[in-house]
Structure 1
Amino acid sequence: MRIEVIVQNAEEAKQAERLGADRLELVSAISEGGLTPSYGTIKTVLSQVSIPVQVMIRPHSYLYQYTDAEWKVIQEDIQAVLDLGGKGIVFGALTKENKVDETILQNLLKTFPSIDITFHRAFDETFDLIEAYKTLMNYPIRRILTSGGAENCVEGKDKLRELVQLSKEMDGPSIMPGAGLTADNITEIHEHVQSEEYHFGKAVRHNASFQKGFSQEVMQRLTDWKK
């Protein structure tokens, strides 16, 4: 069982690692759903933790469609992550019809063939989650962050279960539930969904706030749970 948590800077990253997180999602502008962090933030985080770091690559918070100019920025940001020693990114792109943008994915993987990709919750905006999953199976995507197309994992647990079963049957990208997970509901969600990794945000923070640090008590509960 693996636990991924959101971090915004090096201090949070070090604290999360110390408290038992297995992987980090590094973002900026969490109030906008998470955008690409600065070069300096990426550099300091990667240099100060030993657990895997998935760096958010998202140039803006409106839609998941990207122009040619934005695609050039995305490439520069990914190259910066690799130059700094990073290996993973969090990325997603959709067409105007809310389908997976295969053109961008093909270009990304052609340019960066060894990158570890988490396809983010743009997945939840697709017209058909099963169709979107089968599309992503054609690419070396490692995992998909999703709430099952619902506002949170509690509401989306049935679709999450279906997606996890599909991923196991077809040996495709793993399904990583995220949104609305807490130390109180993770057991119930896991028993229903049966994923192997889960993504936590503000629920592992003091007062459930991204302005606060991690709650040692909550992180300890999750560490004990995943054993």
Structure 2
Amino acid sequence: MYYELATMTLPFGTAGQAATHVQTYTTAPEAGGELLGCWFTDIGQLNQMIVLRGFADLGALQTERARTQKSADPFGCGGIFQSLEQHSYQGFPWMKPVRPSAESGIRGPVYEIRTYGIKTGGVQATIDLWEQYVPPREALSPCVVAMVALDGPLRFTNIWSYPTLDARSKARADAVVQGIWPPKGGPAHLTTNMVSTIALPTAVSPLK
């Protein structure tokens, strides 16, 4: 499964309007892919809308990227956003495709979006370790997706869902106490370039 993670920086007070336009743009007849998540940042870099879309293959992702690049009004927000970034990803091959909350049962409303730099040669080792360690870790909280970037610096992004911030703190602490997270040996393959964002779903987000 392939994914696009788009980030728009918005003027204060425009999130609701932008979310409505994102839904219209991503569900239009000519649109490719599937809208999966539409979040607004709460902790981290603020005033950002993060949009996750899924694609069955790389060609479909590239076709939709071209549509956005050629659009005079990308995401229907060309007259609103101050900046737009789009990044392409491939899901870890052993992970199930991301599905909306209505199908998967995964829901927040607190979503943590974490991006880690990967050292040269560390991609496959990271994928293998996560395949081993994510199942016991998911007994504490679900991993929405883990995916390797196809463009830009070598890195991967993982998204986790929690009912509350307190539940996030407890799950992370319990995982350390139980020795099931982080994956043993995993940090050796990562750089110190790590970013974490807490985001909440907008009204149009299929991941609630």
Give the TM interval when normalised to the shorter protein: 0.3 to 0.5
TM-score (norm 1): 0.31
Normalising by structure 2, we get a TM-score of: 0.32
Instruction: Point out the structure with the larger strand share.
Output: 2
Larger relative helix fraction:
1
